[in-house]
Amino acid sequence: MLSPLILIQILWTSLATSSCFVLFALAFALVLKVNRIFNFAQAAVMTTAFYAAYTVVGLASGPGWAGLLAGVAGAVAMSAVLELFGFRALRRRQASSMFVFIFTLIVSELISYVAMLIYGTWPATIFPSLFWPVTLVGTIAVSQWDLMALGGTAVVLAATFAFLRWSRTGQSMTAVADNPDLAEFYGIARDRVFLAAMLLSGLIAGFSMFLYGTRAQVQPGSAIELLLFAVAATIIGGIGNLAGAVVAAFVLAIIQNGSVLFIPSEWQGFLLYAFLFLAIVLFPRGVRLPQRKRLVRRTPAPALGPAES
């Protein structure tokens, strides 16, 4: 019998676990919105971030903050390399979207093989232990990691949306996402905006991969599977809709984690892929909720006929 306390505990844990996935989805959705690329090379960025942090903390016994910095720096550097030497060249050649897709997939594989060669195929974690101190809040077990992940995610989300809303570069990203040719006509340097979007995406992916690596084991090929979750959330949330991707990632993660109540845990992965397939087949333009009726102030339209003399 499922008690409300167990249900609340599962919901809380699902919410905390979903935080990394929300940021993976945000990073993916941002590049898709601005650069119009299904960037599967984000898996390469995530792999770089994890192993940079692992090298500093797990292998060199450095402090956690140094691992975070190394992870984020690695991710941003990989994003810059991808944009400057990959996507920019492909854009100049007017490569088809399939060609760009293959490029992103191959880069992800390449980085995964490089990680395999250097670090082996065994799963690794950034800190030696995956256990975090737990406090009881009422009857709900809240771990220190849950608070760190949720707090960090909230800060990153707020900072990203504030950056896009109020900073000059963020506004340029929105302009380029809406109409790249018109944006360029108004003097916005498209290449710089594409680079900025990639760097911001790398920053978010690096931070979220650090969070993920402090809670779960990672192998060189793990990132591509994690990324598929972000793809599903982005599609369900509606392409070009960052907030939609964030909400969809939260909901998907909670459903996936909560599904242990109804299906065996080994089928959780299947659930994700079923979401991905059904989301695209049934909702290729994302899930659109019915819009609320807005109060619109109606003003009489001016007469367009010839003026009376």
Partner 1 sequence: MEYLYTLAILMALYVILAASFNFVIGYGGLISIAHPVFYAIGAYASALLARDAGWPIPLAIVAGALVALLASILVAVPSVRISGDYLLIASIGFQLGVLEAIKNIGWTGGAGGLTNIPALLAPGSNHAIYVALTIAVAIATVVLLRWISRGPYGRAMSAMRDDELAFAALGRNALAMKVAIFALGSGLAGLAGGLYAHYFRFLAPGQFDILQSAALLTMVVVGGLRSTWGPILGAIVLEALPQAITFLDLPPSLLGPLQGILFTGLVLIFMFARPQGLIPAGDIWRGRKAMATDARRA
Nearer to partner 1, 112 or 208 (CB): 112
Nearer to partner 1, 102 or 130 (CB): 102
Task: At 68, list the tokens.
Answer: 């975070």
Residue 101 Cβ vs partner 1, minimum distance, rounded to whole Å: 7
Nearer to partner 1, 84 or 280 (CB): 280
Interacting residues toward partner 1 by CB under 8 A: 38, 89, 93, 95, 97-99, 101-103, 105-107, 109-110, 112-114, 116-117, 120-121, 224, 228, 231-232, 235, 264, 266-267, 269-270, 273-281, 284
Nearer to partner 1, 85 or 131 (CB): 85
Nearer to partner 1, 8 or 102 (CB): 102
Nearer to partner 1, 122 or 185 (CB): 122
Residue 273 Cβ vs partner 1, minimum distance, rounded to whole Å: 3
Residue 176 Cβ vs partner 1, minimum distance, rounded to whole Å: 19
Nearer to partner 1, 195 or 272 (CB): 272
Residue 231 Cβ vs partner 1, minimum distance, rounded to whole Å: 6
Residue 78 Cβ vs partner 1, minimum distance, rounded to whole Å: 15
Residue 60 Cβ vs partner 1, minimum distance, rounded to whole Å: 22
In this structure, what are the phi and psi dihedrals at residue 135, rounded to the nearest 5 degrees?
-120, 145
Residue 63 Cβ vs partner 1, minimum distance, rounded to whole Å: 30
Write out the chain in H/E/C secondary structure.
CCCHHHHHHHHHHHHHHHHHHHHHHHHHHHHHHHCCCCCCCHHHHHHHHHHHHHHHHHHCCCCHHHHHHHHHHHHHHHHHHHHHHHHHHHHHCCCCHHHHHHHHHHHHHHHHHHHHHHHCCCCECCCCCCCCCEEEECCEEEEHHHHHHHHHHHHHHHHHHHHHHHCHHHHHHHHHHHCHHHHHHCCCCHHHHHHHHHHHHHHHHHHHHHHHHCCCCECCCHHHHHHHHHHHHHHHHCCCCHHHHHHHHHHHHHHHHHHHHCCCHHHHHHHHHHHHHHHHHHCCCCCCCCCCCCCCCCCCCCCCCCCCC
